Structure 1
Amino acid sequence: MKMNQQQANPDDRSDNVSKLTEAVQNTIDNMEAAHDSMRFASEEEKVNIQAKNERREQSLEAMRQEIRDEAAFQERQSE
């Protein structure tokens, strides 16, 4: 191997579920904070907040599916 080439790190998926769970909670917290801020927002800002929260909801669904996939992967690895 050449001196300036780096070796790839092994795939460590052991904490993916906890990281994804934390990301889900952070996204929910952000959605709630955005919703609370709508009281003081202009109509344009409200539309933007609603659109962003809709995108967050889609992200939540994707993260939850990834959590299920990771949990199933870890279960298969422990068999």
Structure 2
Amino acid sequence: MAKPDDRSNNAERIENAIGHTLQNRNEARDYEKAHAKELSEEEKQQIEEKNERREESIEGLQQEIQDEAEDNK
């Protein structure tokens, strides 16, 4: 039997995901700054591209929170 769809904590889970994504982005930036001399241009580019994807993810998650807020009205 399928579990019922429990969305009672969606906003909280989304906020946690945003927080973790922001933390990962910041850690990647710090790593890149701390190891700039040791990193190849390719590695720097990979870090920057991954952070761009993280930014896109954050934007999408923020939209989901807005959608949740509208649904709960």
TM score, norm. by length of structure 2: 0.89
Residue 72 of structure 1 corresponds to 70
Distance 2:64 2:52 in 1: 19
Residue 38 (str. 1) matches residue 35 (str. 2): no
Residue 11 (str. 1) matches residue 21 (str. 2): no
Per-residue deviation, residues 24-66 of structure 1 (Å, max 9, x unmatched): 0100000000000112133221100000000000000110000
Number of equivalent positions = 69
Identity among equivalent positions (%) equals: 46
Residue 29 of structure 1 corresponds to 23
Shift of 1:74: 1.6
Consecutive unaligned residues of structure 1, counting only runs of 5 or more, are 1-6
TM score, norm. by length of structure 1: 0.82
- Look up the equivalent residue of 2:18 and give its one-letter code: V
- Structure 1 stretches of 4+ moved >4 Å: none
**CA RMSD of the aligned region, Å?**
0.9
